[in-house]
Structure 1
Amino acid sequence: MQIHGPALRFGIHSGQQYASFQECLGLWQRGEALGYDWISLFDHARPPLGGPDGPCLEGPTLLAALAARTSTIRCALLVSTLTWRHPAQAAAIAATIDHISGGRLEFGIGAGGPDLGYRQYGIPFPNRTERLEMLTEGCHILRSLWTRERTDFTGRHYRLQGACLQPKPLQRRLPLVIGGADPRHTLRIVAEHADIWNALAGTLESYRHRCAALAEHCAAVGRNPADIRKSITFRALLAEDSRALHDRRQAWERRHPPTSPDRREFLVLGTPEQCVERLLPYLRLGVGDFLLGARPPVDWHTVELFARQVVPALRGYAGL
């Protein structure tokens, strides 16, 4: 696969807040059978959504197991943070999973954000400036360890001397995904290092503003913005028609009261046709990856309607 792959890809962002491995595996294998191109976990220790004692399987360990039990779908972390582990450890984890998956890994990193694990487990949580510095240094280290025979690096947070990583990833260039939406700082790092940029879809206006900011950073570092694949994550509630939608939406509102933090992740509450209309402006802004969030309990109705009706329609609009 070339670094940017097909012009348009559709995926599931499953997370890992499942009570059992089999539950998560079922989603991954069914997503692959439905023809999705991509599926991903996050890399939280204790996600703030779901409460302080909810289930959460460990990210890279779970990803390795799921990669071994799938065969065609692209497998990803969306995203990890270097507050959990040294970038050399992250590089080795990524290279190992790339071998396990047969060259299907896309590795995501970011500056990190709220996680109950810092307090519960006593893990240090550096301030945002330090985390951004760690992210920048980590990008250099990951790419160097994946591609060079030896790596020497001296930064504020990390130091490597004659560092080796063998075996290298199977992919000639393992895709590095950087997640985040901060126009001033994170998007500068995206412009310098990312193969893929991922963010929550948010409002169309805010996303357009971020795209413009990314283009400015790319110009400053001498990079073509078209060389960075755009990826959005969102959630949806779909129903075949307006009558079915009414009933499904009422049930959704009972599960997601106005105070629910989950609400902001939902981009679409509608029919497949309305979903296509909602996503088309993002397609016109150059988005290549549309990743449907699927938290447990999985809304299989939406997952299947999206695969069977939304995906073909958007591919048609893209001329694919």
Structure 2
Amino acid sequence: MRIGLQIPSFTWPGGAAEIGQRFAEIGRTADEAGFYSLWVMDHFFQIGVIGQPEEPMLEGYSALSFLAGVTKRAKLGTLVTGVIYRYPGILVKTATTLDVLSGGRAYFGVGAAWNEQEARGLGVPFPPLKTRFEQLEEMLKIAHQMWAGDRTPFAGTHYQLADPLNSPQPVARPHPPIMIGGGGEKKTLRLVAQYADACNLFARMGPDVIQQKLDILKGHCEAVGRPYDAIERTALGTVNLAPGGDTAASVIETCRSLAKLGIQHLIFNMPNVHDITPLEIFGREIIPAVAEL
């Protein structure tokens, strides 16, 4: 099993003046500890399950570019970018730039977006959910076309690209893995089967629900003629390696139980990640123990 690290909060001791130094230390330590991937949210306000909107939040792709400069091996991605935040052609160029400058380490995380508060707050149009899913599918088509080097004009319902040129092309082949976040059974998982290389579910859904989602994904893959094993199955969870909290043994057991369901890549966020010690515990005790799952 692969282990990833999500960094969703920047509310750390020292305030804004020390965010860069601490973020770099987290990235370097995780990279050296053997984390397979590093992720940030693509939000502009902090989200409610983590903190208050006014808490510090870094722009996703700028943060990943910074991490690319202080790491050597870990994959880098947003978990995940809302389709409404950037024009599709610009987003593909942005992700390609990250991939080129990191030596082929980018993931392309996308989703239908949900945070109306930050969209309205910053003046970003927030259309109905049906429209956002239509936009997401067009974005996925555009990404595939641009990464294939096809400059044919794209004429969609929501997006029109007269010349979808993408130069340079990404280092990753055939392109950065496309991850779609979410577990919607009719639309999201169907888009995963048709266009993506990875899905992302919430570990907190529990084993029964995760199994149900993966079974539905398998059905969508069969319907579109895509091998189920072509999809990397990932999940996002939270762990607190601190006195009175989780232990290395309990995290290893969590990994084992999710691996049995078919999860291949488990991404954790940690409320005390800025203490660095949790990352060292992962590198010393957890990552080696679950590598063969």
TM-score past 0.5 threshold: yes
- Check conservation: 1:145, 1:151, Cα contact below 8 A: no
Moved more, 204-213 or 14-23: 14-23
Q: What is aligned with 2:187?
A: 185
Gaps spanning 5+ residues in structure 1: where?
1-7, 240-247, 250-268
C-alpha distance in 2, partners of 1:186/1:32?
31
Cα 1:137–1:296, aligned 2, differ >3 Å: closer, same or farther? farther
Q: What is aligned with 2:137?
A: 136
TM-fit CA distance, 1:75 = 1.2
- Check conservation: 2:241, 2:247, Cα contact below 8 A: yes
Match of 2:216 among 207, 213, 217: 213
- Check conservation: 2:3, 2:35, Cα contact below 8 A: yes
C-alpha distance in 2, partners of 1:315/1:99?
28
TM-fit CA distance, 1:42 = 1.2
- Check conservation: 2:37, 2:75, Cα contact below 8 A: yes
TM-fit CA distance, 1:64 = 1.2
Please say if 1:225 is aligned against 2:225.
no
Moved more, 85-94 or 273-282: 273-282
Please say if 1:11 is aligned against 2:7.
no
Match of 2:278 among 281, 284, 302: 302
C-alpha distance in 2, partners of 1:171/1:74?
11
Q: Could you report, residue by residue, the CA deviation over 1:130-171 in whole angstroms, capped at 9, with x for unpaired residues?
A: 111111110010111112241322221111223211111111
SS at match of 1:238: coil
Moved over 6 A (4+): none
SS at match of 1:22: helix
Q: What is aligned with 2:110?
A: 109
SS at match of 2:125: coil
Cα 1:145–1:223, aligned 2, differ >3 Å: closer, same or farther? same
Cα 1:233–1:299, aligned 2, differ >3 Å: closer, same or farther? farther
Gaps spanning 5+ residues in structure 2: where?
none
Q: What is aligned with 1:272?
A: 248
C-alpha distance in 1, partners of 2:200/2:127?
23
Cα 1:234–1:48, aligned 2, differ >3 Å: closer, same or farther? same
TM-fit CA distance, 1:16 = 5.3
SS at match of 1:21: helix
Q: Could you report, residue by residue, the CA deviation over 1:48-103 in whole angstroms, capped at 9, with x for unpaired residues?
A: 23212111111111211221221111111111012111110000001111111011
Cα 1:285–1:299, aligned 2, differ >3 Å: closer, same or farther? farther
Identity of aligned residues (%): 30
- Check conservation: 1:48, 1:116, Cα contact below 8 A: no
- Check conservation: 1:52, 1:116, Cα contact below 8 A: no
How large is the Cα RMSD of the aligned pairs?
1.8
Pairing of 1:1-320 with structure 2 (within 5 A): 8-15=1-8, 17-18=10-11, 19=16, 20-49=19-48, 50-114=51-115, 116-173=117-174, 174-201=176-203, 202-238=205-241, 248-249=243-244, 269-295=245-271, 298=274, 300-316=276-292, 318=293
C-alpha distance in 2, partners of 1:285/1:121?
40
TM-fit CA distance, 1:299 = 5.2
Give the counterpart letter for 2:37 in structure 1: W
- Check conservation: 1:199, 1:231, Cα contact below 8 A: yes
TM-fit CA distance, 1:307 = 2.7
**TM-score under structure 1 normalisation?**
0.83
C-alpha distance in 1, partners of 2:283/2:273?
18
Q: How many residues align?
A: 283
